[in-house]
A and B are shown apart, each in its own frame.
Chain A
């Protein structure tokens, strides 16, 4: 496998030009606007996803950031399937930032997010592979002087009617001279790669220490910087004294930037030591006294008043006003940090007319534009290289480009190549977070015990308001990412009203793996469980009735229940809980088996997960993403909370912000539904169902209903007393 997985635009053009005897395939695909955009920008647009060498190598240029979800394998598989090449010859390379590599559906941005990589690239990459195959076949036919339709491509060769073979490598010179087919035809019939658990191409580099993450980037003359940051969001440096810092060995520069005071040194540790010696006086600004406790009170007050309407079917309000038997509940969820294992960092080499950035980003176009602005350059003068990402979860798709902007500011101020690293504490305290949420829900049941009216008020910050995405993503004051999973619930509820309050405060918020679904699924699936209990019905049956018109939701629910042994006897002290949720085009049900220990802590023993994500590329990667989502969601369900007091974040490292460890990790079984539906996402949808599945299991076990995350032993003890 190619060790070099990142290529700059300049290198790319150079290699492309130098690739005598190599076929660089331009794929002009009918994608309307984006195609026009790409075509208007030829100079920086190699416009290619695929390179085939005379040495038989097949390099797929991947426009998605690899952050664990396997895009360096799944996307090449899409190309290779149609190309009919030999998979052993396939390697990957991270694409530069250029219009060709913009998201196929999200507009003119290179971005990895929304569990969209496979979904959005399926067609474009399949066609890229098919176009190349057609050219190779035509090249061979031309050489043999036969009709192309009589030849076929297979395992890296083209085969003539009489069975003669020419390898792709032998055909690239001829193929390169042929026109690119406008409407390449996709293969029909059996798939060779798609649907198989092909080994990940990036695994070897990730277990031998050669995978280069942003934090590993180095360059001649590079300094490493850490930034002393204000203790409060929006705080500013009033003055600082760096005498002692500058006297510390290895410290080269101390500069003020918007984020605080940066100490740049020969090595990370010297920068850290230097930072400890800084004397800074801060001005806290207007968020100096915010606290999550006070916000909680404010949110509760807001929840008692009508909000903007996100969904209104029937007359929920009137029915509930009349009802003598309504059920009410409050659900609360805290701020959460993304806490990727690799803390944020960014390398910048800024020259007069050029800037090189190397970092792990999910948001290259936005980050590059922000960097260019700080540098006083045009975006095209910024080479933006994507390294491996040590986890993303949305944090590296930052609407404010914070970690890139601060690094460019430092580079500009010190005039030397620099890598800015956030310590774990910096990473956890400087934002951004999943918003804190407060939900008030009321419902009443019909005569048969099913929801007649459901009235849900959601209170929490918009992650979109105030960003460049607001005009597109906020409609009539409603940020859909705040209500998704609630306002569009598939449950058959005749009178449904969902309202939203979007308070503002100084806490930076951002999409966090599964976004709005990370809170709405907990509310929907917990409260529905409560209603089932109230109606005296089995929670799984109850859901099935309400999902009768939604076969895919219904199907995963049934599979998960069956595989988990729903309704069958369990060992003493164990119980099952179920949840089903649809997000990012996929349908997922999970059953959790739990017990309580003597200290009232939940132990999750086993999770059975059924997923319908439509047509699939690589089942093992799907399984891995379900496992990953479940553990990620479980950390939030059991431990996760970012709290503020006097404007200060109270957590800083993994001692105060706990994550699930191996000893607490359940056994996970994943069942993938065979499907011919359009592909759905897999990176995020595994997260939402786990918290309600565990809460519902706890209720089944003990009668304790937890409506506030995380489910700490203290809350469980209190709930047990009320049970």
Chain B
């Protein structure tokens, strides 16, 4: 039996301790906002926050996060500046990667409230988006950070 604190609620399930957190969230707790994309820590679709740190839940055994605070996309309030910025910039296309993108962005902004483009590159390049929403993700992070950016970024 493992006990997890997910989005502020204590949840229990009978599962082997080496089961990846991703599948516990999805199959045991029906928190399907966290997505499977690669299972190898390569795409970021499964990103969740564990004690505020973004982790790839597909390669995180559930046993390792017992007693720690897990935040999934379902735990990010709708009025959160990152979600609001995502809507303002119309980031989503198919949407599949976006929960992971948003959690990585939330973690980035907690750590660096006004990130520069290099910070964004570093924090967000583990999250793949096959629909290619990267330019908008970058803009949305700037929007969420409250940094007024020129509409068109200077080519780097």
Identify the A interface with B (CB < 8 A).
Answer: 66-70, 197, 199-200, 202-213, 215-216, 218, 224, 249, 266-269, 339-343, 388-393, 421, 423-424, 593, 605-606, 620, 624, 627-632, 653-655, 659-663, 665-669
Contact = CB atoms under 8 A, between A and B. Distances in A.
A628 B152 contact: no
The 8 closest A-B pairs by CB, nearest first: A209-B33, A631-B132, A206-B95, A390-B96, A68-B93, A68-B94, A665-B134, A216-B32
Interface in B129-154: 129-138, 152-153
A207 B92 contact: yes
Contacts of B43: 341, 424, 654
Contacts of A629: 132
Nearest to A428: B38
A67 B94 contact: yes
B33 A342 contact: no
A378 to B, nearest CB: 32
B136 A627 contact: yes
Contacts of A267: 23, 27-28
B37 interface: yes
A632 B128 CA distance: 12
Nearest to A629: B132
Interface in B82-101: 83, 86-87, 90-99
Given A207-B95, A391-B94, A654-B38, A669 B152 contact: yes
A212 B40 contact: no
A67 B97 CA distance: 12
**Chain B interface mostly:** loop
B10 interface: no
A209 B74 contact: yes
Interface in B108-142: 120-122, 124-138
A606 B152 CA distance: 11
B81 interface: no
Contacts, number: 190
A659 B27 contact: no
30 contacts: A199-B90, A200-B92, A202-B92, A203-B87, A203-B92, A203-B95, A206-B95, A207-B86, A207-B98, A209-B34, A209-B72, A209-B99, A210-B33, A215-B32, A224-B27, A268-B26, A269-B27, A340-B130, A341-B43, A341-B94, A341-B97, A342-B35, A390-B96, A421-B36, A423-B39, A605-B155, A655-B42, A661-B125, A663-B121, A667-B153
Contacts of B73: 207-209
Contacts of B45: 341
Contacts of B28: 267
A267 B15 CA distance: 10
B135 A655 contact: no
A66 B134 CA distance: 20
A291 to B, nearest CB: 26
B94 A342 contact: yes
Nearest to B28: A267
Given A199-B87, A662-B120, A208 B74 contact: yes
Residue in B32, B36, B94, B138 whose Cβ sees the most chain A Cβ within 10 Å? B94
A392 B95 CA distance: 12
B55 interface: no
Contacts of A424: 37-40, 43
Interface residues of B, number: 62
B20 interface: yes
Contacts of A620: 90
A215 B92 contact: no
Nearest to A654: B42
Contacts of B11: none
B31 interface: yes
**Chain A interface mostly:** loop
A660 B134 CA distance: 9
A66 B94 CA distance: 7
Given A631-B131, A653-B40, A665-B135, 7 more contacts: A68-B95, A208-B76, A209-B33, A342-B96, A593-B155, A624-B136, A653-B42
Contact of A69 (B74, B93, B99): B93
B38 A653 contact: yes
Nearest to B31: A209
Nearest to A390: B96
Given A207-B86, A208-B73, A391 B31 contact: no
B9 interface: no
Contacts of B120: 662
Contacts of A654: 38, 40, 42-43, 128
B138 to A, nearest CB: 7
Contacts of A390: 35, 94-96
A68 B94 CA distance: 3
Contacts of B134: 631, 660-662, 665
A393 B91 CA distance: 18
Given A69-B93, A215-B36, A628-B93, A391 B130 contact: yes
Given A628-B133, A669-B152, A207 B99 contact: yes
B95 A202 contact: yes
Given A207-B99, A267-B23, A627-B133, A662 B92 contact: no
A213 B23 CA distance: 16
Given A627-B136, A667-B135, A215 B156 contact: no
Given A200-B92, A654-B42, A341 B129 contact: yes
Contacts of A208: 33, 73-74, 76, 78, 83
B90 A624 contact: yes
A202 B98 CA distance: 13
B12 interface: no
B149 to A, nearest CB: 12
Nearest to B38: A424
Given A203-B87, A208-B73, A269-B19, A665 B132 contact: yes
B4 interface: no
A319 to B, nearest CB: 42
Contact of B135 (A197, A627, A653): A627
A624 B38 contact: no
A423 B76 CA distance: 28
Contacts of B27: 224, 266-269
B125 A663 contact: yes
Contacts of B16: 249
Contacts of A391: 94, 96, 130-131
B90 A200 contact: yes
A605 B153 CA distance: 11
A175 B2 CA distance: 58
Contact of A342 (B37, B99, B124): B37
Given A69-B93, A200-B90, A342-B35, A632 B98 contact: no
Contacts of A212: 32
A628 B28 CA distance: 34
A216 B95 CA distance: 13
B98 to A, nearest CB: 6
B49 interface: no
A624 B132 CA distance: 9
Given A212-B32, A662-B124, A668 B92 contact: no
Contacts of A627: 132-133, 135-136
B38 A209 contact: no
B138 A662 contact: yes
Interface in B8-64: 16, 19-20, 23, 26-28, 30-40, 42-43, 45
Nearest to B104: A662
A206 B92 contact: yes
Residue in A266, A391, A662 whose Cβ sees the most chain B Cβ within 10 Å? A662
Contacts of B128: 341, 654, 659, 661
A392 B134 CA distance: 18
Contact of A206 (B98, B124, B138): B98
A392 B31 CA distance: 24
B102 interface: yes
B118 to A, nearest CB: 9
